[in-house]
């Protein structure tokens, strides 16, 4: 079976289940989904950052991820920020305790801190935006923004792509595909607004679609850089045809905080 066919078959199974949880599952079910996906992503990251086997860094990052995400469910920003702060402190203290064992090597602490700030801190915004007014619509808006652009980029890039975007990080991405991504995201967002979210202004929709598509592409490239530095092609194998969880969340992890803070600070 070709990777492209696997990609579509996985989507055909996953998309209806995802739609049902978002639309009908309620805040609690959605939070469980995000927590499980985030922990799976944290597991994939830890394998890339620290290899196989158990380590103190893996324990503290997984624990911090769970606590940060559970706190996001409460919506208490002060406690959420406190947990992030104490997680940073915990990583650095563990590093101090291991200096005699491995010397003054700050790289493991740096990788652990990056994991905490990259995955649970960013993923918590899914839970935060789901709890806002019109939270369900905002979640679907984010998905449309990401996947409409992704589909457009894939086909435009394959048909017209010639100039490489950032070959050192992702050889397959092209400038033409990026243009298709931006156009696809804007069109998808405008159609979604027209059919389901008319209270969102057209100008805001265009800005969110345009800037969000660029932000999402930067998230995709950032995850690709992590994989290249770790010497792996995919972050995992959990999603046939798509790679790992992080391979699907990469752009969403950047888009969601952007959309959340845009609607919090600009639209409101």
Q: Can you give the pLDDT at residue 243?
A: 64
Both structure tokens of 91: 């990583």
CA distance 260 to 236: 28
Calculate what percentage of the chain has a pLDDT beyond 70: 91
pLDDT for 144 beyond 90? yes
Select from 182, 176, 189 the least CA-distant residue to 218.
182
Highest mean pLDDT among 7-16, 63-72, 99-108: 63-72
50-81 per-position pLDDT tens digit = 888 888 889 999 999 999 999 999 888 888 88
Q: Which residues contact 182 (CB under 8 A, 6 or more apart)?
A: 149, 209, 210, 213, 214
CA distance 86 to 189: 38
- pTM of the full structure: 0.90
pLDDT for 187 beyond 80? yes
CA distance 14 to 2: 18
For residues 190-218, average pLDDT: 96
Q: Which residue has the tokens 């595909």?
A: 177
Contact between 190 and 206 (Cβ < 8 Å):
yes
Q: What is the DSSP letter of 170?
A: E
């Amino acid at each position: 079976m070709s990777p492209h066919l696997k990609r579509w078959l996985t989507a055909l199974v996953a998309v209806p289940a995802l739609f049902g949880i978002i639309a009908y599952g309620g805040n609690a079910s959605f939070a469980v989904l995000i927590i499980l996906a985030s922990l799976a992503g944290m597991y994939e990251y830890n394998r890339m950052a620290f290899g196989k086997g158990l380590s103190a860094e893996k324990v503290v990052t997984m624990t911090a991820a769970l606590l940060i995400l559970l706190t996001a469910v409460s919506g208490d920003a002060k406690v959420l920020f406190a947990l992030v702060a104490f997680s940073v402190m915990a990583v650095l203290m563990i590093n101090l305790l291991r200096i005699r064992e491995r010397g003054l090597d700050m790289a493991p602490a740096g990788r652990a801190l990056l994991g905490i700030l990259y995955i649970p801190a960013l993923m918590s915004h899914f839970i935060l935006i789901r709890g806002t007014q019109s939270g369900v619509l905002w979640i679907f808006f984010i998905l449309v923004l990401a996947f409409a652009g992704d589909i457009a980029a894939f086909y435009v890039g394959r048909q017209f792509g010639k100039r490489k975007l950032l070959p050192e990080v992702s050889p397959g991405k092209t400038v033409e595909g990026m243009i298709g991504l931006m156009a696809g995201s804007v069109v998808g967002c405008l159609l979604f607004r027209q059919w389901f979210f008319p209270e969102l202004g057209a100008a805001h929709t265009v800005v969110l679609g345009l800037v969000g598509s660029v932000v999402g592409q930067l998230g995709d490239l950032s995850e690709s850089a992590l994989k290249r530095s770790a010497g792996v092609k995919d972050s995992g194998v959990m999603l046939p045809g798509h790679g790992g969880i992080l391979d699907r969340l990469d752009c969403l992890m950047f888009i969601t905080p952007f959309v959340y803070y845009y609607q919090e600070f600009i639209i409101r």
